[in-house]
Amino acid sequence: MAAIRIGAVGCGVVATAYYFPFIQDYEKTELVAVCDAREARARESARLFGAAAWYTDYDEMLAKSEIDAVFILTGAGPHVEFAVKAAEAGKHLLIQKPMALTLEQARQIGEAVRKAGVKALVEPSGGTAVSETSRRIKEIVDAGALGKPYWFTHIPTGPSRYGPELSGNPYGAGAFYNKDSGGMVFDYPYGPTAICGVLGSVKSIMGSAQVSVPDRMIVPPENYDRFLAGVTDPQDANYWRVVVNEERSQPITMAAPDNAWCVYEMDNGAIGAYHVGRLFHPMPKGLVMPNLQIFGTDGNIVFGGPHAVSIISKHKDLLPSVDEDGWYHIEHTKHEPSPWPIPPRDSWIYYHESTKHLVDCIIEDRDPVVNVEWGTHITEIMYGVLESSRTGTRYQMETTLTGERSGS
Ligand SMILES: NC(=O)c1ccc[n+]([C@@H]2O[C@H](COP(=O)([O-])OP(=O)(O)OC[C@H]3O[C@@H](n4cnc5c(N)ncnc54)[C@H](O)[C@@H]3O)[C@@H](O)[C@H]2O)c1
């Protein structure tokens, strides 16, 4: 079986740290072309990861290189245009998060993909059935281990770098800071993905979002160009390795929300809250906080903390084993908790799993688990939070994880 030929647009941090080294090494993929508006990034990526061609113009890459699948690894701005063009050219797709910034934009991508009959995977896949652990948990919950799940919280507790001057990510200068970027709500589809991964679709949303800390520092994009030019080992192009210690020298104004509460009402009746924001100071030593916790009439499930996942249920027969207190634990891998952003090479990395999953879906002609309908629902959740906050009213969801909501 010939390798799936991949052309990637966006040769920034996420591309070179996680996707390109994997695509280069994986026997089922070949990185044939790379494209970035910043010439040095395209050129250096081709050098490092062995792509035969590099471009600064996306249309040229699509026209000239023989590509089976396009990986869209830029920030959200050009996602709709790039995804629609790729689908129309008959290319399969992987779209980095966020898929789009509005429901309408996400629908445009979905329609183009379905019309063209190509496969499209929308990140993030972590917390979904792309992961074996998440698939097992979903089965246990669907079998009734929690009874009626009725409330939940999801409060991210990382990252482990603190202070406004240290909290800037190294994304290109505009990403998630500009007024129209969606802010941190759109930087974190991980929460809604994890929640929906266990509890299914969201029915309505209330959001309260604001800019709380407008003065921030970020790493200037030129620093990344310099970094990339100096890398010689393609498996060691993780810019985070440098920036966690690097001085943020470019002041920016956070013009989009950096602090949001999102209250979800699920189709299954549960209500819960998700918080988006950064910690500026560490938690007390030894306190390992869970992130997603779901409470039901017959059991609880806790993600994170001392174990990767813990479930207690009055239906013990649904749990593979229980400790003396009645909990079934799935343990952290040897690298957890939180190897991010520099995971050891043999840890579970969602970018790698997504790539493998998309490739298998292309070869076996099946739809990815995190397909365009899934991505559109997650996009609408984030969009709905900001809409609800802006209008002061509850936002009613028009989509579900599997498509348009009937009657909407
Ligand atoms: N950095 C991370 O660790 C990380 C992790 C998870 C997800 N992501 C997501 O991946 C996306 C990219 O993040 P990043 O950190 O790699 O950003 P980045 O700014 O480092 O890289 C994006 C690249 O896209 C290029 N680009 C932008 N518009 C283009 C255009 N029209 N044509 C060609 N190239 C264009 C930019 O020049 C830049 O090199 C973001 O949407 C982010 O949410 C990033």
Instruction: Tell me the per-residue pLDDT of 354-382, one tens digit each, with 9 for 90 and over.
Output: 999 999 999 999 999 999 999 999 999 99
Beta-carbon contacts of 99 under 8 Å, excluding residues fewer than 6 positions away, are 76, 79, 106, 109, 122, 123, 372, 375, 376, 378, 379
Residue-wise pLDDT tens digits, 136-152: 999 999 999 999 999 99
Rounded CA separation 330/395 (Å): 35
Q: Is residue 20 part of a domain?
A: yes
Whether ligand 1 lies within 6 angstroms of the CB of 97 is answered as yes
Residue-wise pLDDT tens digits, 93-115: 999 999 999 999 999 999 999 99
Instruction: Give the model's pLDDT for residue 14.
Output: 93
Whole-prediction pTM: 0.96
> C-alpha angle with apex 76: 49 to 99, nearest 5 degrees?
95
Instruction: Give the model's pLDDT for residue 244.
Output: 64
Q: Is residue 209 part of a domain?
A: no
Q: Is residue 44 part of a domain?
A: yes
Instruction: Give the model's pLDDT for residue 47.
Output: 98
CATH code, domain with 96: 3.40.50.720
Specify the residue with its C-alpha closest to ligand 1, atom 11: 75
Instruction: Give me the number of domains the chain comprises.
Output: 1
Q: Is residue 103 part of a domain?
A: yes
Rounded CA separation 323/312 (Å): 10
Cα separation values, 61 from 7, 169, 183, 209, 220, Å: 8, 28, 30, 39, 27
The one-character DSSP state at 235 is: G
Specify the residue with its C-alpha closest to ligand 1, atom 19: 172
Whether ligand 1 lies within 6 angstroms of the CB of 41 is answered as yes
Which is the closest atom of ligand 1 to the Cα of 76? 41
Rounded CA separation 319/312 (Å): 8
Instruction: Give the model's pLDDT for residue 179.
Output: 85
Which is the closest atom of ligand 1 to the Cα of 82? 31
Q: Is residue 361 part of a domain?
A: yes
| Spatial CA neighbour of 15 closest among 228, 229, 250, 244 | 228
Instruction: Give the model's pLDDT for residue 21.
Output: 96
Q: Do 92 and 37 form a contact (C-beta atoms < 8 A)? A: no
pLDDT per residue as tens, the chain (408 positions): 799 999 999 999 999 999 999 999 999 999 999 999 999 999 999 999 999 999 999 999 999 999 999 999 999 999 999 999 999 999 999 999 999 999 999 999 999 999 999 999 999 998 898 988 899 999 999 999 999 999 999 997 665 455 565 555 666 555 788 888 889 999 999 999 999 999 999 999 999 999 998 988 888 888 889 999 999 999 999 888 777 666 677 888 889 999 999 999 999 999 999 999 887 777 787 777 888 999 999 999 999 888 889 999 999 999 999 999 999 999 877 666 555 677 777 777 889 999 999 999 999 999 999 999 999 999 999 999 999 999 999 999 999 999 999 875
Q: Is residue 65 part of a domain?
A: yes
Q: Is residue 160 part of a domain?
A: no
Instruction: Give the model's pLDDT for residue 250.
Output: 80
Domain membership of residue 359 as a residue range: 4-127+349-372
Query: Is beta strand 309-313 parallel, antiparallel or unpaired with respect to 299-304?
Result: antiparallel
Beta-carbon contacts of 130 under 8 Å, excluding residues fewer than 6 positions away, are 350, 353, 354, 357, 368, 369, 370
Ligand 1, pocket-test mutation among 9, 11, 14, most atoms within 8 A of CB: 14
Angle in degrees, 0-180, between the axes of helices 132-142 and 190-199, rounded to the nearest 10: 40
Specify the residue with its C-alpha closest to ligand 1, atom 41: 75
Q: Is residue 55 part of a domain?
A: yes
